[in-house]
Amino acid sequence: MKTKSGDPKTVIRPATQRQGGNPKNVIRAATLRQSGDPKTIRAVTLRESGDSKTVIRAATLRQSGDPKTIRAATLRQSGDPKTVIRAATLRQSGDPKTVIRAATLRQSGDSKTVIRAAIRRQSGDPKTVIRAATLRQSGNPKTVICAATLRQSGDSKTVICAATQRQSGDPKIVCAAAQRQSGDPRTVIIMCCNTEIWRGSQNCYT
């Protein structure tokens, strides 16, 4: 996990994550850039090199001049060239408690493969949290990369935390660290667990 704060132009580049079994199968963690406008987070293209045509374009998550607007871009799967999952524009209402949960996006190549966008936003609060949900890859349905909390704050202490991304060569090793909600620091939102229960002070949700 690399964290830099204070500089609004801080760029955190998660290292390239390799998936075992196929050395060519690379998922490049998108560069998360925090631009001059602290409300703007651009997630860049995630390319899967096993198939040169396979591109999962991470939707540009833009918090524009109007903080109620979130545009999720097109997610295209090359296994079936006709398969396009267009993430529609997600609008957030004026209620800061409004949570927009992006519905499960299913990938047609493998019916068990699920890409969960699960963009959960609470606006009107400088502690806005955008949680990137579990990205499941079909090459090995047990392989889970859990992207952790992306936290955007309204002050110079802005921190984008790229969370622990575990590669499940052993399906029991799939536990993402507890993700706490800013409204209540004691609230644990998500713990990604597989067959093994992580024993700690928080509850484990499968």
Task: List, for residues 42-87, the tens digit of each pLDDT value.
Answer: 333 333 333 323 233 333 333 333 333 333 333 333 333 233 332 3
Give the pLDDT mean for 102-127.
32
The long-range contacts involving 184-192, CB below 8 angstroms and separated by at least 24 positions, are 189/131, 190/131, 192/134, 192/144, 192/146
pLDDT by residue (tens digit) across 2-52? 334 433 333 332 333 333 333 333 333 333 333 333 333 333 333 333 332
Q: What's the confidence (pLDDT) of residue 1?
A: 36
Q: Both ends of the chain: CA-CA distance in Å?
A: 23
Q: What's the confidence (pLDDT) of residue 186?
A: 34
pLDDT band, very low/low/confident/very high, at 148 (cuts 50, 70, 90):
very low
Q: How many CA atoms lie within 13 A of 46 on its CB side?
A: 28
Q: What's the confidence (pLDDT) of residue 48?
A: 32
CA distances for 180 relative to 63, 89, 134, 162, angstroms = 22, 26, 16, 14
Give the pLDDT mean for 94-121.
32
pLDDT band, very low/low/confident/very high, at 156 (cuts 50, 70, 90):
very low
pLDDT band, very low/low/confident/very high, at 115 (cuts 50, 70, 90):
very low
Percent of the chain with pLDDT over 90: 0
Q: What's the confidence (pLDDT) of residue 53?
A: 30
- Six-digit token string for 110: 């493998």
- H/E stretch holding 104 reads strand 104-106
Q: What's the confidence (pLDDT) of residue 84?
A: 30
